[in-house]
Amino acid sequence: MAKPLVSIVVPAFNEEDNVGPFHAGLMQVADAKLGDYDLELIFVDDGSRDRTWARIQELAAADARVHALSLSRNFGHQAALTAGLHHSRGEAIVSMDCDLQDPPEVIPALIAKWRAGNQIVYARRSARVDTAFKRITADLYYRLLSLTSEVDIPRNVGDFRLISRDVLRSFLRLNEHARYLRGMVAWLGYKHDFVDFERPDRLHGETHYPLRRMLTLAMDGLLNFTFVPLKIGMWIGVLSMLISVTFLVYMVVDIALHHVDYPLYKWLTVLLFGFMGLQFMFLWIIGEYIGRIYYDVRRRPLYIIGERVNLDATE
């Protein structure tokens, strides 16, 4: 009887020092605790500028379980992860990073929850090694997302998760370009559970999610799963009008009681105050949404594959 196949999807960008230790750690866990399953490991090189692709090719040549894609340039973490998901063949698919901040030792627990009947199993960070700034901003972001999103997106989870084949089929029908996978997977629904783990520090190198990329990902999460930003303009507009009306009432009362002569420019200043901030906020919010519409209507592919190893072009 054939063993169930589990796919491990791992995007990599400038991770030449990490792909080898990750592979060794994963296969050690697989040999020790996953003997009842067949395993395929799909590396996706996201346009690395170092020797990441060469190291992955070496692993694929020595281990037939290793499959690999090299994208033609850097398309971003979420697109690279999507490429790996497109090419996975397993009954269960685990997505994770190769810097060993997503420990392979957690995978057996994810599979156990899946075997218990859960279609999605999130690896939830109970502890993490980060700066105080990153912890505080992450907590504030997830609180804001929880308050504003129409989808219940779990807190303290990243892209380390297991999904079933049924979930993957549904996920592959979602084609938006501004991708926020943790929100997209949550939007699908399905029965889910969590496995808590302590997130260690990176084994080698520095994070490839600097502040700029984190802000972009956070913006995708907020604008893709909530219309609250569209209402910000209304709130600011109401506040601006209340302030303007307050000043107008004050000026009228001041004229009636103290016979003060207000020149025309002061009246115009009060009136304009109520509209300038509103206009700029609307322009910014509308621009963000139009930008996402613009990316989607072009229907460009999410990624371009440059090379394949141990994968057929038809897969």
pLDDT band at 250 (very low <50, low <70, confident <90, very high): confident
Q: Mean pLDDT lowest for which of 31-35, 112-116, 254-258?
A: 254-258
Residues 254-271 have pLDDT tens digits of 787 877 777 877 777 777
CB-based contacts of 100: which residues, under 8 Å, 6+ apart?
18, 21, 22, 25, 200, 202, 203
pLDDT band of 85, cuts 50, 70, 90:
very high
Domain residue limits, the chain: 5-207+301-309, 228-297
Which whole number is the average pLDDT over 293-302?
69
pLDDT tens column, 127-180: 655 566 566 666 676 666 666 566 677 877 888 999 999 999 999 888 777 777
Mean pLDDT calculated for residue range 295-312: 76
Q: Rounded distance, CA 168 to CA 92, Å?
A: 9
CATH topology (fold) of 5-207+301-309: Spore Coat Polysaccharide Biosynthesis Protein SpsA; Chain A (3.90.550)
